[in-house]
Amino acid sequence: MQISSRFTIGTHVLVMIALKGDCTKVTSDMIAESVGVNPVIIRKTLSQLKKAGLIHVARGTGGAEMAKELETITLLDVYRAVECLGKTGQLFGFHEHPNPACPIGNNIHGVLDGKLKEIQLAMEKEMAQISLEQVVKEAKMKMEVAS
């Protein structure tokens, strides 16, 4: 199983806004073309990023711009803005009704819960150490090398 693409799409959207926003109006159609998805998906992502306070989105004629300085936004901020972790806030979903009459089913939560929490915390710690500014700088360097 793979973690959803919401995070990478959200990051792609923010990099595009950061790199193109000063010289052109960044619209959902423009972003969708770059990401290679339907503009409806981009509009939903923009809405989530706006709700998290990471961007401003103009109504009507459209266009998005950064609401915060790039160095203050981390990949963890993006992840939290766009991933649907549900009420529990847990990355790993767990089947809700393991059989209590089965010795494995009765103990599986006790075996895995702590380990899965540790894995999630380690991932989030790493994400918190990477700023959007770092990602944008690397994207810009790779674009310059490619041209």
CATH pick for 6-146 out of 3.30.450.20, 1.10.8.50, 1.10.10.10, 3.40.50.300: 1.10.10.10
Domain ranges of the chain: 6-146
List pLDDT tens digits, range 53-108.
Answer: 999 998 766 789 999 999 999 999 999 999 877 666 777 877 888 999 999 999 99
Q: Are 18 and 136 in contact (CB under 8 A)?
A: yes
**Virtual torsion, Cα 133, 137, 138, 141, nearest 10 deg:** 170
d(CA 92, CA 97): 15
Structural tokens at position 56? 């401003």
List pLDDT tens digits, range 104-126.
Answer: 999 999 999 999 999 999 999 99
Q: How many CB atoms lie within 10 A of CB 98?
A: 14
pTM of the model: 0.87
